[in-house]
Amino acid sequence: MGKGRQKSKQTSGQKRDAFWESLMTEKQKLVRDGLTNTGIEAQTRNEQGLTSIMVAAANGKAKSLETLLDWYKRRRLLRQRGWINLTDDEGHTALHLAAARGHLGCIETLIDFEAKTEWKDMNGKTPRDLAVQNKKTEAVKLIDEMLREPSDDDIDEATGEAYNDGLTSTQRNRLKKKQMQALERRGMKDDDDDGEKEDEEDEDDGEPGPKPIWPEVEKVVESIQNLRELKEISIVREEVDDSVADSNGVDPALWYLRGINRLEMRLAPDVLTSINGPDLKRLRNLSTLILNHNSLSSLPGEIGLLNELRFLELSHNKLSSLPESMSNLSKLELLNLDNNMFEHLGTLEGMTSLSTLRAANNEIVEIELAFEGLVRLATLSISHNKIAEIPSGVGVLQNLLEFEAESNLIEEIPYEFCSLKRVKVFKLADNPIKDPKLVKLLKKNGALKDIWKYIEKAQSKKSDKQKDNSPSKKEPETASENVTPTHEYDSDDSFDITMEEL
């Protein structure tokens, strides 16, 4: 067998180095690959403290610059963060760097993408000032040309078309924006925008937020402005805050912190009773959302748009149902619903990554979970409910480590539990278990393997009894017929459970 060529696997550091190099070589496939696979973002800086946009602009790499800006624009990051206007240690934006060196293609691209031409560096100079200082005459002309706004007289209000086309390409780009505004005034849509349409659900993305009221929110906003963006925010209010009484008890600016990935909020009783869906959907980078100890009675359907959400904690609220849209949360790993008002949880179908489900201290009467879709579930806590039966489908949870179901109405332990060899915690105290021997075994602190073996034996006897009571009383042809196969167990006595712990 011939040896195939083996492609060496790059380290993360090598991938990043390759990305920075691709900006200079302008190999656009490598640039796009780097954006996709390295985790480099618009605000990521190299060893010289420059972002990728700055590097491309400073070196006149117009193709790379356009690829970068288009990438970030499609993800609505430029407007949201102002990353196109980030500065270096001297206060220079990418446009400053391009103008100072006279890179016309980069200047045109940056202004087309709405880079701020009036931004001043630490010496009080605008990009145009630097072009003048460095005698970049063509750059000065280009900036002046692009800053000249076409007048409304150049636009036919009835058709939205230009009266004449004696314009430069840059002026034509500016004029096109005027044309689009004219079309909008007529209630028309311009579908000729690279064949793309904005989704209705995203139409407000990028809107600047109001002035912060809470100091925690203001701190995050300031971190963005200082190029050291904070990704987490925690808010605790023990008393009603009159300063936000007109906005459902929450600082409106909070919902515009689009870059945060962790939000924890606990407000005074009866303050946070609901969340506005359009507000919540702006926080699509959230991976952790903790809203324990509030007064939520419902969740908006837009929560299903938080595709990066991995940890959702909602304990001690007043929830009685979950939106169907939560089935879209395929990355969700932890769902905490303890101490709410649920009678039914639903199937939780679609939450294929769920490993921890907590729903203790509710009013749940029946487990309706789609176990076949929850094969990663490791912890299931349903104590202090009104559950009378554990469904037989629990046997598919081969990764289950902890099962807590104290203080319910459970009378029997399903035989299927015998196949769950990895279970280490098994809590069933304060349930009306029918089998007195099983109750006794539990109270004796027996190892789980002994409990499973007893359940197996009881199941086998039950099968034999049913066979003996059958009308035909036909003997099985083999010893294996009508006999439930036994399972092997590890001899690890760490499976001990104590009723005191339960």
Q: Where are the domains positioned within the chain?
A: 12-147, 152-192, 225-470+487-495
Q: Which residue has the higher pLDDT, 206 or 159?
A: 206
Q: Which amino acid is at 142?
A: L
Q: Around Cβ 215, how many Cβ atoms within 10 Å?
A: 9
Residues 359-412 have pLDDT tens digits of 999 999 998 898 888 989 999 999 999 999 988 788 889 999 999 999 999 999
Query: Which pTM was predicted?
Result: 0.56
Average pLDDT for 337-341: 98
Q: Which amino acid is at 51?
A: T
End-to-end CA distance of the chain: 60
Instruction: Note whether 12-147 and 225-470+487-495 share their fold.
Output: no
Q: How big, in percent rounded to 5, are the helix, strand and coil portions of the chain?
A: 40, 5, 55
Task: Report the alpha-carbon distance of residue 378 to residue 397 in Å, rounded.
Answer: 8
Average pLDDT for 422-443: 88
Which two tokens mark 241?
A: 């805050």
Q: Are 285 and 205 in contact (CB under 8 A)?
A: no
Residues 83-139 have pLDDT tens digits of 788 888 888 999 999 999 999 999 999 998 888 898 888 899 999 999 999 999 999
DSSP 17-34: HHHHHHHHHT-HHHHHHH
Residues 440-477 have pLDDT tens digits of 887 776 578 888 888 888 877 766 666 566 555 444 44
Say which residue the tokens 């007043």 belong to. Answer: 318
Count Cβ neighbours within 10 Å for each residue of 227-261 and write b for 16 or more, e otherwise: eebbeebebebeeebeebeebebbbbbbbbbbbbb
Q: Which three-class secondary structure state does DSSP give residue 319?
A: coil
Fold designation for 225-470+487-495: 3.80.10
Residues 64-92 have pLDDT tens digits of 999 888 887 776 544 445 678 888 888 89
427 DSSP β-pair partners: 404
CATH number for the domain formed by residue range(s) 12-147: 1.25.40.20
Mean pLDDT of the chain: 80
